[in-house]
Chain A
């Protein structure tokens, strides 16, 4: 996990569900390169064209509500999202994102101080956020020790794998 994310912001509203993050008709795809092509397609069909690796998604409440599809987290990881900052997250999406090592930070009011295209710097560990374009700052809620542990391991897969290897 990178300790700092810096990139331009893509701002979305409330209740961005997993059908908007990754439409149901593409769920049959399983290869990461294919899954990456449809990131955020239900909310913004041109998202993938505009997005550069390291850019940051900002949203209001309940980002990732809806279906359990891990594709929603996989597609954001695959396009290289630097971090997702939202007022709150849907719970299955939150677990999926953290499991894959995608930094998801709960930051009340973040969508009010950021506009699309502005450049943000996010310290993943401390939760400090700076809007480089306007100079405004925000503070995300600290992540639980359990969650930080998963992120620091690079996701749950390396974590379980090393646990299994230790048992052998």
Chain B
């Protein structure tokens, strides 16, 4: 069996599971986002009265942090009241940040965990050897009532990376390249495991970016076998009991791919789909109205660090807005301590409260019709960050910072020493 199958078998109380089987699994942590008041509505509509285990529920005020409309404020108010009534102590209010980063910062992402959040990018937690997946409001309400949820045991695809990344090329470029090659629907209903020698050079932060973006190829979950890099992080942060599952030798993957990344160029996904990917050189010189650095994909300390390095002592182009959103309070504090915030503000960055902000086109940095944005986030769908005629290019944090500096798309490799 694969490690993912062993994990699902354990949570289902079974010796083994097979691909395609439907299993009912005990969930270790269920997260709700402030976008989805429907979760509470469905809980009561289904006859729920008490949450099955409040210590396994976490509430995030991240998508509307802080509320920009009365309706958002009212939804958040109802969520807080629900947490207080139900004894849910893990209420992550508007000061905390994006759910996936908050989970990592607080040691709530760990090997062997079955983690379900009402956010599609819950695949992020494969970086820790967890089974993370997103569901809708009513599925989450089912977990609140029963502590369990059904899953179809997925086919598993192995994607192997060999070689060391060239200067100015990052995990974001790797995953954009993979999605461009394989397609936005390649892994629908399936799990994706990353392997290979390249991982030895990728930090937890970089691995999170890669696992996060597997959602954009349709994946149900992602997985990286925990190694020394994972365990260093786990030992610093995690206090809950964890378990490392390992894949049996000779396991047959549904498909296997190998990419040599040693010659990879910085990548961009052009409007309007995440698999519309080319080398950055195809878009050089295109004017940028807004550069956006943030989100559960590209708003971590390392991302702010590379931007600060590129912009230190320089100024953002006068015709470009540079919006920066630290992914979490933890990220914000560490970046402040390291001086990145000072550097970026002096360079002309506009800072936004840690949270999801304009990544999903609700507030704090929306695009007008006809504007172009380069962003370290995860989606470039029509209307994703504002007007449906706003054009979004997805790239690495370095590509975003270099574009902010020049006011146009450039090759970020030329801005890295």
Contact = CB atoms under 8 A, between A and B. Distances in A.
Given A19-B383, A19-B384, A156-B138, A70 B185 contact: no
Contacts of B139: 95-96, 99, 156
B189 interface: yes
Contacts of B120: 66-68, 92
B47 interface: yes
B416 interface: no
Most buried by A among B71, B119, B138: B138
B185 A99 contact: no
A27 B362 contact: yes
Interface in B66-91: 69, 71-72, 75
Nearest to B117: A68
Contact of B188 (A88, A96, A161): A88
Given A30-B75, A95-B135, A100-B138, A74 B38 contact: yes
Nearest to B39: A70
Contacts of A88: 185, 188
Nearest to B63: A27
B138 A28 contact: no
B336 interface: no
B145 A42 contact: no
A20 B381 contact: yes
B135 to A, nearest CB: 6
Interface residues of A, number: 42
B362 A24 contact: yes
Nearest to A62: B185
B196 interface: no
Interface in A142-168: 144, 146, 156-157, 160-161, 164-165
Contacts of B36: 68-70
B189 to A, nearest CB: 5
A23 B138 contact: no
- State the 8 A-B residue pairs at the shortest beta-carbon distance, nearest first: A96-B136, A62-B185, A70-B136, A24-B361, A70-B137, A24-B360, A68-B134, A160-B46
Given A74-B38, A164-B46, 11 more contacts: A14-B185, A15-B185, A19-B384, A20-B381, A20-B383, A24-B384, A65-B218, A68-B119, A99-B138, A100-B138, A144-B22
